Structure 1
Amino acid sequence: MQATDGVRVYEPAACLADFRRLCIGVLPATEEAHHMLVTFLGTAASEGYPNAFCACGNCREARSLGGSSLRKRSSALIDGELLIDLGPDLMAAAQIHATPLDRIRYCLQTHHHEDHLDPAHFLSRSAYCGVTTAPVLEFYASSPSLARIAAALQRHAPDGALTGPEAEQKLNVRIRQVASGQTFEVGPYRVTSIAATHAPEAMLFLIEREGRRLFYATDTGPLAEDAWRMLAAASGPIHAVALDHTFGDGERSTGHLNADQFIEQVTRMRAMGLLAGDARVYAHHLAHHSNPSHPALTRRATARGYDVAYDGLSVLV
């Protein structure tokens, strides 16, 4: 474990015992019990890292190094019960990182793109695949995400409707349609959905529990002014940020961030007083063609004052 002010960073092996105790509700009560345990299940952009079909220098080095340089497509887990993005690599992540997903009660879906949403998981966690003990999943998503799910699961949802009682019972889910600009309760969490600069109706999430806040901000380009206003209106400072770093040392973009744009967003957050003094900022959603292997990227990031997420990283926020 490494401690930096109020945010503690746990290596996967070091935190596994505590994480398992948390998952079965017996984590000893401490002064940190109110902190959120955030686990990065995947940290790559849409093609994974290394890209299985690619022989570029970055992909070759990642294969050689292994470990933290191997990245699945992006998703995250909070406290073993709140999932961010029902992504295509969840099964592999659960196996590789010894992180069962059988306690998930809530899911926040950022957007409908294939690297973030795999509708087949609705079947995998239902009686259709022999699962009878999983809790009902409260699934929060935009209209385009729900439309994509309905199209994929048409024969399992009467008339393509996911919100009717028959479909919800068959799929063990309760659908909650949300849009950017809303604040809503998700179990013990208070969530504000903020418009991303990405696909239509893509969302970023400011997640709060008992005074601790995580800003989960991928996929996105430079934030729009409305997004900045919503962040400024938050009830308190942000303690951790997971921010798009897709294009790294590549060109500037309007739908993702490169390293310079990443720094510009973080600089503005600090200038506006949005970040707690001990806040940690993590580069997330990394593309193989624009970001080097994890050790090299970490050296660059450290020199510029931020951290790099990797698959299996768990942090107390």
Structure 2
Amino acid sequence: MKVKYLGTGAAEGWPGVFCGCQHCRKARIRGGKNIRTRSSVLIDDSMMVDFPPDSYSHVISYGLDFSRLKHLVITHSHQDHFFTDDLKLRKPVFAHLEDNSILNIYGNMAVGEIMTEILNSNSDLKQYMSFRYIPPFETYIADDIRITPLLASHDRNEDCYIYIFEDKHGKRMLYGNDTGIFPDATWEYIEGYYFDLVSLDCTTGPEPEGIYHMGIPDNIKIKERMTKTGAADNATKFILTHFSHNGGLLHEQLIELVRPYEFQIAYDGFEVYV
């Protein structure tokens, strides 16, 4: 399984579009891995997780061709993860697509309500786009990848999801963005599996949060519990992403802080194989 981190920032990006804080000023000056667009990943070049407002920038930066994208998995309906204005352009004359080129979109009921409205008001999109609701803890197979949504601890107005992705070789990733410490039902589910890769929210950087997002102290708790229950071990890759400027630490500072805990710090364009 190949996982490419297209964006690794929180809702406002880093530097924030309107922000003049010292952390955003430093990121502008230093550039490189300190520039973080809104979070998204690409799995095996055919499945994308979340569709942020920076998706067009990702196409340009990484030479991507989203006309070939087959599956789009959405964690929740917030606009930094589900930016629908660009999705509405997946039809002629804005996009010239091959026959039967359908983008399959998956998500929770809140995402489904938005997609129903979009497809009902843009009937010509229906031949280029579809939506499937996947209930929590139920598995759907999309080509060679098994997708299982789990409940996140985030927006209480909808069932926000984190996901398990498993490829045809049995390699398994837990993608845990936009969540605090996992709900009990999610813990009960994941403790029956082993994970080769665990990707965790680190919005608050060095500070704990644990309710809607996580920081490094929360990430440590997650890793310790998963290791204790056998859901992870020393071979499991733990990667932190979804950073906010409010956390305050630039890329190299984050690397130094997590070194004793053997976390990897994702950056825009980071690739990992399991």
**Structure-2 change in CA distance of 1:152 and 1:173 (3 Å):** closer
Q: State the distance in 2 between where 1:291 and 1:308 align.
A: 14
> Is 1:201 matched with 2:159?
yes
Query: How far is 1:98 from its partner?
Result: 2.2
1:88 aligns with 2:67: no
Matched, 1:174 2:130: yes
Q: 1:277 aligns to what?
A: 234
Quick check: 1:227 aligned with 2:223? no
Residue 186 of structure 1 pairs with residue 146 of structure 2: no
Please report the TM-score for the alignment, with normalisation by the length of structure 1.
Answer: 0.81
Deviates more, 1:76-85 or 1:252-261: 252-261
Query: Share of identical aligned residues, percent?
Result: 27
Conserved 8 A contact 1:283-1:306:
yes
Tell me, in whole angstroms, the C-alpha distance in 2 between the residues paired with 1:252 and 1:112. Answer: 21
Matched with 1:215 is: 174
Mind listing any 5+ residue stretches in structure 2 that lack a counterpart?
Answer: none
User: What is the CA distance between 1:301 and its match in structure 2?
Assistant: 1.6
Structure-2 residue corresponding to 1:13? none
Distance 2:153 2:45 in 1: 29
Find the aligned partners of 1:251 and 1:214 in 2 and give their Cα distance: 24
2:63 paired with 1:98: yes
Q: Is the 8 A contact 2:207 2:217 kept in 1?
A: no
CA-to-partner distance for each residue in 1:136-189, whole Å, 9 max, x for gaps?
1111111101223444565314xxxxxxxx6521xx012111121211111101
* Structure 2 residue 100 is the aligned partner of structure 1 residue 143: no
Displacement of 1:291: 3.8
Secondary structure at the counterpart of residue 298 of structure 1: helix
The 1:276/1:107 distance shift into structure 2, 3 A limit, reads farther
Matched residue SS, 1:44: coil
- CA RMSD, Structure 1 to Structure 2 (Å): 1.7
Letter in 1 for 2:36: R
Once the two structures are TM-superposed, the CA of residue 86 in structure 1 deviates from its matched residue by 1.7
Aligned residue in 2 for 1:161: none
Query: Residues 75 and 83 of structure 1 are in contact (CA less than 8 Å); yes or no, is this contact kept in structure 2?
Result: yes
Counterpart selection for 2:259 from 299, 302, 307: 302
Q: Report the Cα distance in structure 1 between the residues aligned to 2:46 and 2:233, rounded to whole angstroms.
A: 25
Q: Which residue of 2 aligns with 1:16?
A: none
**Aligned residues of 1:179 and 1:201 also touching (Cα < 8 A):** no
Letter in structure 2 aligned against 1:228:
W
1:69 aligned partner: 34
Q: Secondary structure, in 3 states, of the residue corresponding to 1:191? A: strand
Moved over 6 A (4+): none
How far the C-alpha of 1:305 sits from its partner, in A, is 1.9
Equivalent position of 1:52 in the other structure: 17
The structural deviation recorded for 1:122 is 2.4
Q: Report the equivalent of 1:109.
A: 74
Counterparts of 1:128 and 1:223 in 2: how far apart (Å)?
43
Q: Provide TM-score, normalisation by structure 2.
A: 0.93
Unaligned runs of 5+ in 1: 1-35, 158-165
Aligned 1:215-294 pairs, distance under 5 A: 215-234=174-193, 237-294=194-251
Is the Cα contact below 8 Å between 1:192 and 1:207 reproduced in 2?
Answer: yes
Determine the C-alpha separation between the residues in 2 that align with 1:251 and 1:38: 27
Distance in 2 separating the partners of 1:152 and 1:225: 34
Report the CA distance between 1:52 and its aligned residue.
2.1
Give the whole-Å Cα distance in 2 for the aligned partners of 1:256 and 1:183: 25
Deviation of 1:205 (Å): 0.7
